[in-house]
């Protein structure tokens, strides 16, 4: 009897608990525990994790899409009547500054209100996932706000007031330009130079020049170049082979982000998607990857944690799902490896692009 029970337990251990994850993301969208307070300024990105997670699970029907669309638009920093704040436009992370709720323009001038590049990026993705047609996005504002963030060395700040600058925000910028189908938002050549300058001696990418290779920054580098359509132009075949090698060596069971670090669920996506973009994900071991991701699954509360026996959180829950989707887990939708939204949402974007282009005639 005990033997059977043990075997049953083992089977359950590797069982993927879809419904729990759906409820996990539903709760994420309703209320967050106190320990997330420090993430209030980036709340929109957490919304993105939940929405995209539900999309990957094929369960967007459990939420009120229109309500969330309105909320997202209320985070848009719109141009004022005289357009004096164009360089500050984009999307906020949340209402923490205290700007009065509004989904319509014109913008209200407030000296300390501005978009945040990662929130503009996740905001646009979230709208696409919810099926919105982006018609209320002020593209001129978003692109001007983006241009204002790029530095001479090609990297980006996250906010116009200044912040740290590195390759993460280049990725956000590339996604924004890609989604808005308008690369005037950034100087591509300079961004490519920064990316190349971030290639480390061991052929991983650091956050910037001279910095340590890391799975997350490697994803930002490769995914950005793919979105720009410049992967083979920016990196030689040898460099690409060396990058493939560095990435493939990140698999231990699941993946870690740096040598001699413990494996962490989210790298199953960051490194996995990079390998997919480089055409060699099929050479990784799917079974070990899957087993690790599922070992971080929270069987009670749903979601995934970065490590086994740890608390789940929306980021790892989302990337755990993406990692499983990459290896073809049944009942999970496919994720576009560079833009990090489902293929369904990506196709919706492509249709929008077609509509925009045909109505603009020769503009593209």
Partner 1 sequence: MHGRVKVKTTAQQEEEKRKEREKKLKIYVAARDACFSKRKEGVCDDEALQLTQQLLSSNPDFATLWNYRREILMHLETVKDPDEMQKIYEAELSFLEACLKVNPKSYGSWHHRGWVSARLPRPDWARELSLCDRCLSLDDRNFHCWDYRRMVVKVSGVPVDQELEFSDRLIGSNFSNYSSWHYRSTLLPVLHPQTRQEPPHASSPRGPQSHRVCEEQLLKEYELVQNAFFTDPNDQSAWFYYRWLLGRAEREETISCVYVSREDERVAVAFSRPINARCVGLLLVLDGQPLRVEWRSVHPRFRHSPVLICDLPPGTINDVTNEHNLTVHWTGNHTHRDCALYTGRVESWCRDTATDQELFRSELSVEKTSVLQSELQSVKQLQELEPLNKWCLLTIILLMRALDPLGYEKETLAHFQTLKEVDSMRSEYYSDLCCKFMIENTILKMEYAEVRVFSITDRNLTSLCHLDQLLLVTHINLSSNRLQRLPPQFAMLQCLEVLEADNNFLENLEGVYHLPRLQEVSLKNNKISTLTDLQPLASCPELKRLDLRGNPVTQAASVESDLAELLPSVTDLLL
Rounded distance between C-alpha atoms, residue 237 and residue 251, angstroms: 22
Among 70, 84, 259, 350, binds partner 1 (CB under 8 A): 259
- Confirm or reject binding of residue 192 to partner 1 (CB under 8 A): yes
Q: Is 260 in the site for partner 1 (CB under 8 A)?
A: yes
Radius of gyration of the chain (CA): 20
Which stretch of DSSP H or E encloses residue 76? strand 76-77
Q: Cα–Cα–Cα angle for 207, 35, 169, nearest 5°? A: 20
Max Cα–Cα distance, the chain, nearest Å: 77
d(CA 71, CA 31): 15
- Name residues contacting partner 1, limited to 196-215 (CB under 8 A): 196-197, 199-202, 207, 209-214
Q: Which residues contact 42 (CB under 8 A, 6 or more apart)?
A: 93, 94, 116, 118, 119
CB of 69 to partner 1, least distance (A): 25
Residue 140: count of CB within 10 angstroms of its CB:
14
Restricted to residues 144-173, the positions that interact with partner 1 (CB under 8 A) are: 158-159, 161-164
Nearest CB to partner 1, comparing residues 1 and 37: 37
Q: Which is nearer to partner 1, 62 or 209 (CB)?
A: 209
Number of residues that bind partner 1 (CB under 8 A): 66
Shortest gap between Cβ of 207 and partner 1 (angstroms)? 7
Minimal distance, residue 232 CB to partner 1, in Å = 4
Residues in the chain: 364
- Do residues 88 and 158 make contact, with C-beta atoms less than 8 angstroms apart? no
Q: Which of 70, 84, 112, 347 binds partner 1 (CB under 8 A)?
A: 112
* CB distance 170 to 155 below 8 Å: yes
**By CB under 8 A, is residue 251 in contact with partner 1?**
yes
Residues near 147 by Cβ (< 8 Å), separated by ≥ 6?
Answer: 87, 184, 185, 186
DSSP 8-state code for residue 91: E
Residue whose CB is less far from partner 1, 306 or 336? 306
Q: Using CB under 8 A, which of 299, 311, 357, 364 touches partner 1?
A: 311
Of these, 26, 310, 329, 356, which contacts partner 1 (CB under 8 A)? 310
> Is 299 among the residues that bind partner 1 (CB under 8 A)?
no
Least distance from partner 1 to the Cβ atom of residue 230, Å: 9
**Residue 90, strand partner residues:** 77
CB of 98 to partner 1, least distance (A): 6
What is the number of alpha carbons within 13 Å of residue 153 lying toward its C-beta? 14
State the residues that interact with partner 1 by CB under 8 A.
34-35, 37-42, 97-98, 111-112, 116, 158-159, 161-164, 192-193, 196-197, 199-202, 207, 209-214, 232-233, 236-239, 242, 246, 248-249, 251, 258-261, 264, 280, 282-285, 288, 305-307, 309-311, 313-316
């Amino acid at each position: 009897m005990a033997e059977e029970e043990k075997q049953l337990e083992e089977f359950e251990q590797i069982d993927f608990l879809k419904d729990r994850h759906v409820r996990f993301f539903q709760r994420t969208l309703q209320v967050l525990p106190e320990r997330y307070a420090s993430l209030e300024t980036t709340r929109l990105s957490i919304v993105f994790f939940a929405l995209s997670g539900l999309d990957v699970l094929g369960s967007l029907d459990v939420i009120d899409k229109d309500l969330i669309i309105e909320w997202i638009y209320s985070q848009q920093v719109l141009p004022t009547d005289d357009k004096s704040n164009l360089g500050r436009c984009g999307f906020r992370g949340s209402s923490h500054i205290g700007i009065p709720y509004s989904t319509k323009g014109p913008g209200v001038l407030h000296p300390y209100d501005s978009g945040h590049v990662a929130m503009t990026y996740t905001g646009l993705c979230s709208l696409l996932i919810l099926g919105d047609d982006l018609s209320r996005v002020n593209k001129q504002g978003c692109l001007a706000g983006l241009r204002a963030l790029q530095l001479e060395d090609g990297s980006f700040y996250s906010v116009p007031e200044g912040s740290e600058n590195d390759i993460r925000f280049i990725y956000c910028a590339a996604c924004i330009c890609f989604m808005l189908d308008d690369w005037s938002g950034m100087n591509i050549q300079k961004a490519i130079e920064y990316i190349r300058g971030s290639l480390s001696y061991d052929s991983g990418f650091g956050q910037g020049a001279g910095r340590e290779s890391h799975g997350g920054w490697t994803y930002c580098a490769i995914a950005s170049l793919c979105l720009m359509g410049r992967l083979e132009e920016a990196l030689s075949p040898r460099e690409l082979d060396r990058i493939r090698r560095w990435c493939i060596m990140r698999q231990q069971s699941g993946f870690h982000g740096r040598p001699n670090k413990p494996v962490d669920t989210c790298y199953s996506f960051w490194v996995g998607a990079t390998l997919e973009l480089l055409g060699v994900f099929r050479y990784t071991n799917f079974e070990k990857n899957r087993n690790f991701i599922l070992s971080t699954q929270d069987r009670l509360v749903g979601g995934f944690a970065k490590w086994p026996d740890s608390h789940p959180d929306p980021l790892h829950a989302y990337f755990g799902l993406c990692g499983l989707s990459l290896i073809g887990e049944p009942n999970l939708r496919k994720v576009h490896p560079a833009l990090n939204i489902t293929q369904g949402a990506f196709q919706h974007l492509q249709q929008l692009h077609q509509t925009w282009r045909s109505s603009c005639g020769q503009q593209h």
